[in-house]
Structure 1
Amino acid sequence: MSTATRAATVPAQVSRPTEPPSGRRGGPSERLMSRTAAMLVMGVFTLYFLVPIWWLFVSSTKSSAQLLTTPALWFADFNLLANIEDLVTYRDGVYLKWMLNSVLYAGLGGALATLIAAMCGYALAKYRFPGRETIFNVVLGGVLVPATALALPLFLILSQVQLTDTFWAVFLPSIVSPFGVYLTRIFAASSVPDELLEASRIDGAGEIRTFFTVSIRLMAPALVTVFLFQFVAIWNNFFLPLIMLRSEELFPVTFGLYTWNSQLNQIPELRAYVLVGALLSIIPLIVTFLLLQRFWRSGLGAGSLK
């Protein structure tokens, strides 16, 4: 090729337009529209979730007479502290008993369910034994079964051993979490290295000690997730106490507020107690989430460094 021909081809190569990299082809206006649309959708869903809580807070500050005669989303007389005092003193503080029952059902039940799920999921992930996949498939089947379908069989079983209308009638079914077993099995398989377990065994640690000192720390983000899911599920559980309990002193707070709400025609002043009680009942859920969310952040950070 001559020098003139080579020189003629160079400008053609230099002047060839370069395509923008994939993912950056949209101009500034298109990116602005996408961001605005995303923020608009997020704003709508934020309002959807926060407006009922705002209404509940505003309604809890009103007296029974003001609930139906004042604007629903704005304050009248701020009587929140007085309403709380009336609530906790009503019928010798039965509401506080319900809150304590819910804390015991959800706190102890969630913690024990998390521990059992962690052991089962870890065993299914790290040990090889006959029937392992069959057991895991049965657990997956348990995830698909709705809780309402199990309520009647549970009632019949517990009635045979005379445990209905007792603390155990609600507590024992709460410590089983098929979803927790599924989640911990997946997480243990990916986050607990087999080499680390072998090193622990070479150092003389037994299987139980290895699980509680090594594996459970690596599985902490999954365990927090299982606990929060189980805590919220037990706290909001309504159908199981409905069929199992008859004694008022054993009611969780959700079922206790339901019984008050069903008596509004006979006792209208219970309307304010139901609203204030509902507002107070969501505080433990918020506090639990705020206290445990740092474990999620630490788990994500640890995963990004691996």
Structure 2
Amino acid sequence: MKRAMLTLPMLAMLLYCVLPLLWLLFGATKSNAGLFSSSGLWFADDFALVENIRQVFTYQNGAYGRWFANSVLYAVVGAGGATMICALGGYALAKYRFPGSKALFAIVLGAITVPTTALAVPTFLLFTRLGLVNTPWAVIIPALASPFGLYLMRVYAADAVPTSMIEAARLDGAGELRIFLSIALRLLRPGLVTVLLFTLVATWNNYFLPLIMLSDPEWYPLTVGLNLWNSQRGSAAGGQAVYNLVITGSLIAIVPLILSFLFLQRYWQSGLSAGAVKQ
């Protein structure tokens, strides 16, 4: 009975998460006509997945390919940079005592509670004065700030990196930068992967900030670009909507995230004990 009480809610949550993905998968195999003439959770008579993919990458002179490349740029530079900044800052807050460290950590905790959408307009006004609006930097620079990632790395580094190991490395003549690069980074690997995935998903799915920062479709990420296609449904060529392209493009857009999780999940298995004993 106890197992059933735990399993049923988990199955309900599983269905809640999987059903939209299944609808997206089945929808990507249908034409515009098939989307409205068949069941949402099954294939249509006209299997059009290959044709939909071809149209996605050729519609509007290959705009989807540019948006995909832009999303990769924003995610790689933004998420990668944010992860490294969080690693440096979290390690410093956890292992060094300096004036104002507690106050700085309190500010980080306070920053976590501020919604990112509330900062979009002030960020836009600031970047307007700096002349960075409608450039890739308007999306990349805000992505580098991750208060939650900094908090997570600070908490993780406090236990994952033994202070005795740092002191032993200092006695051996290692500098602080070498200690961080050679010892701390290896011990922080599971935490780094966690922060990387959090920031990667947040940057890849970022919509509101690019929407207000970018006016040139050449710099749009996938989120804004697909919404542009969806909003043009009434004025598409021939008077036809492009729902099938929006759905197929959305399916393609989640593939990099799935691959990232599948590739990086093995680093979580190392856990906290993957450091000092085996080094």
Q: TM-score band (shorter)?
A: over 0.9
* 1:127-181 Cα distance to aligned partner (Å, 9 max, x none): 1111110011011111111101111111111100110000000000001111111
Q: Does 1:278 align with 2:253?
A: no
Partner residue in 1 for 2:123: 154
Partner residue in 2 for 1:56: 24
Q: Does 1:206 align with 2:206?
A: no
Partner residue in 2 for 1:228: 197
Partner residue in 2 for 1:82: 51
Larger radius of gyration: 1
The aligned runs of 1:102-251 (5 Å cut-off) are: 102-251=71-220
Instruction: After TM superposition, give the deviation of residue 203 of structure 1 in Å.
Output: 1.3
The aligned runs of 1:252-263 (5 Å cut-off) are: 252-263=221-232
Partner residue in 2 for 1:28: none
* 1:90-109 Cα distance to aligned partner (Å, 9 max, x none): 12211011111111111221
Counterpart residue identity of residue 132, structure 1: S
Counterpart residue identity of residue 36, structure 1: A
Q: Distance in 1 between matches of 2:79 and 2:19?
A: 29
Q: Does 1:269 align with 2:238?
A: no
Counterpart residue identity of residue 60, structure 2: R
* 1:237-287 Cα distance to aligned partner (Å, 9 max, x none): 111001100000100001110111111122233111100000001101100
SS of corresponding position for 2:232? coil
Q: Distance in 1 between matches of 2:272 and 2:167?
A: 25
Counterpart residue identity of residue 117, structure 2: T
SS of corresponding position for 1:166? coil
Counterpart residue identity of residue 252, structure 2: L
Per the alignment, do residues 220 and 122 of structure 1 end up closer, same or farther by CA in structure 2, a change over 3 Å counting? same
Q: Does 1:287 align with 2:259?
A: yes
Counterpart residue identity of residue 57, structure 2: V
Query: Unmatched 5+ residue regions in structure 1?
Result: 1-32
Instruction: After TM superposition, give the deviation of residue 300 of structure 1 in Å.
Output: 5.5
Q: Distance in 1 between matches of 2:121 and 2:168?
A: 48
Q: Distance in 1 between matches of 2:116 and 2:80?
A: 19
> TM-score, normalising length from structure 1?
0.87
Counterpart residue identity of residue 116, structure 1: I
Q: Distance in 1 between matches of 2:52 and 2:211?
A: 27
Whether the 8 Å contact between 2:133 and 2:213 is mirrored in structure 1 is yes
Q: Distance in 2 between matches of 1:63 and 1:239?
A: 29
Instruction: After TM superposition, give the deviation of residue 301 of structure 1 in Å.
Output: 5.9
Whether the 8 Å contact between 2:187 and 2:272 is mirrored in structure 1 is no
Q: Distance in 2 between matches of 1:96 and 1:204?
A: 51
Counterpart residue identity of residue 223, structure 1: L
Q: Distance in 1 between matches of 2:214 and 2:156?
A: 36
- Count of residues in Structure 1 that have an aligned counterpart in Structure 2: 273
* 1:215-237 Cα distance to aligned partner (Å, 9 max, x none): 01111111111110000001111
Q: Which moved more, 1:234-243 or 1:68-77?
A: 68-77
Counterpart residue identity of residue 238, structure 1: Y
Q: Distance in 2 between matches of 1:169 and 1:79?
A: 38
Q: Distance in 1 between matches of 2:120 and 2:228?
A: 20
Partner residue in 1 for 2:12: 44
Q: Distance in 1 between matches of 2:36 and 2:265?
A: 38
Q: Distance in 2 between matches of 1:166 and 1:234?
A: 16
